[in-house]
Amino acid sequence: MWPTNEATKRLHVQWPILQAPMAGGATTPELVAAVSNAGGLGSLGAGYMSGEQIRSAVRAIRQLTDKPFAVNLFIPEEITGDTRPGENVRRLMNEARRRLGIPEEPDVGRFVEPFEEQMTAVLEEEVPVFSFTFGILEERWMTELKRRGVTVIGTATTVREGVALEASGVDMVVAQGSEAGGHRGSFLPDSPDNLVGLMALVPQLADRLSVPVIAAGGIMDGRGIAAALALGAEAVQVGTAFLVCTESGAHPLHKQAILEAGDDQTALTTAFSGKPARGVCNRFMREMAPYRDEVPPYPVQNALTRDIRQAAAKQRQRDYLSMWAGQGVGLSRQMDAAALMRRLVEETEQAMARFAGRS
C-alpha cells in the first residue's frame, strides 16, 4: 500500500502523490517539475491553453526534470439551449465591470481552445501521463494514447461516472470528493448536485473498479493521505496544498486568501464559470448566489467573466477573483514544493505508524 503499489508502478513514481492539474496558470513548469523531482507526479493544468502554449510548457518542464509528469485537458461540452445570461446576472457582471473601470458587454471571442489542437500537441510532445476532466475521451484519442504507451487518467465524482470511465479504457480514476477545490469533474446527468464526499466515494469506487483509484478532495497533509489509502485508494491527488507553494503561479491575493481562510469559508459557485466550483467566498460569489438559475452554462459564463477576472487580478481586487480552494484550507502551509512533498511523506509514515501501533 505504501509507498509502492499498482499506481506508483504504472506512473513510474516513488510516492503515490499527484499534484492536481489546476488550470489557469497555477501549475507552472517550475511547480510541475519540483513535484516530479521530489518523487510525486507533477501535473500541468492545460485546459485553457492553446496547442502552442502546451508545447511550450511541456518543453519547459522537460528542461527542469527527466521524471514523469502529466498534462490535463477538459473534455469539450456541447453548448445547448439559451446561452444568454439572465437579467440579474447580466446586471451584476456589468456592475462589477463598472467598479473595475472596464467596458460593459465585451466581445468574448471563442469560448474554449480547440480540443483537436490541444490533443495533437499532447500526442506530438509524447507526454507520459494524460488526464482529463468533465467527460469521457473519444475512442479515437484513447486508442492513439494507448498505442503510444501513455498512461490515461479520468475524473469521477460518482460511482456511475467511475464505472463509465473504466469501460472507456482509462488506466486509473480520480475519485473527486465534494470537498475538492476548483471545478467539479462531473459529467453524467444529476452528478453535479449529488456532492458525494471523499470518505463515501473512495471505498465504493475501490470496490467497483479494477483500475487504481486516486483520492482527491480536502487532502492537505499525511493524515489525509493515510486515511485515503486506508479507504482503498492507491494514490492521492493534492491541489490546494500546492497552490500556496513558492513555485505556484496562483495570484498573491489567491494565496493569501487560502492561508487566511478557515474550513467554513469556501463554497460551491457557478458565478465565475457556469460550472460548480469550490473557492474562497468573496463578494461576486455572494451577490451571484441567488441567481444561479440565470447563469449561462460552462464554458459560456467562463468566457463572459474572463475580463472581470483579468481586471481584478491586475488591480488586486480580491472581490472579483476566482480563488479556487478545497475545504481543507485551514491546514494550508506555505513552503516550496519539494519541502511540502517531504512533509507529506513524513506525515503519512507517521500516521501509518500510529495506526499500526493501535491495532
Full domain range(s) for residue 183 = 6-76+112-248+333-358
- Confidence band (pLDDT; 50, 70, 90) for 331? very high
Within-domain flag for 134: yes
Domain CATH for 136: 3.20.20.70
Q: In the Cβ-directed half-sphere of 237, how many Cα atoms lie within 13 Å?
A: 33
266 forms beta bridges with 280
Within-domain flag for 170: yes
Within-domain flag for 339: yes
Q: Which of 229, 223, 227 is nearest to 241 (CA)?
A: 223
In contact, 301 and 274? CB cutoff 8 Å: yes
Element (H, E) at 85: none
pLDDT digits (tens, 9 = 90+) for 50-68: 999 999 999 999 999 999 9
- Confidence band (pLDDT; 50, 70, 90) for 359? low
Within-domain flag for 302: no
Within-domain flag for 124: yes
C-alpha cell at 312: 481584478
Within-domain flag for 23: yes
- Confidence band (pLDDT; 50, 70, 90) for 356? confident
Q: Which residues of 47-82 are buried (b: 16+ CB within 10 A; e: fewer)?
A: bbbebeebbebbeebbebbebbbbbbbbbbbeeeee
Region 157-176 average pLDDT: 99
Within-domain flag for 190: yes
Cis peptide leading into residue 299 (ω within 30°): yes
**Residue 38 has what pLDDT?**
99
pLDDT digits (tens, 9 = 90+) for 209-229: 999 999 999 999 999 999 999
Region 32-61 average pLDDT: 98
The total number of structural domains that make up the chain: 1
C-alpha cell at 128: 507520459
Cis peptide leading into residue 128 (ω within 30°): no
Element (H, E) at 312: helix 306-315
C-alpha cell at 353: 505508524
Within-domain flag for 211: yes
Rg (CA), the chain: 19
In contact, 17 and 238? CB cutoff 8 Å: yes
Region 326-347 average pLDDT: 98
| Side chain identity at residue 298, one-letter code | Y
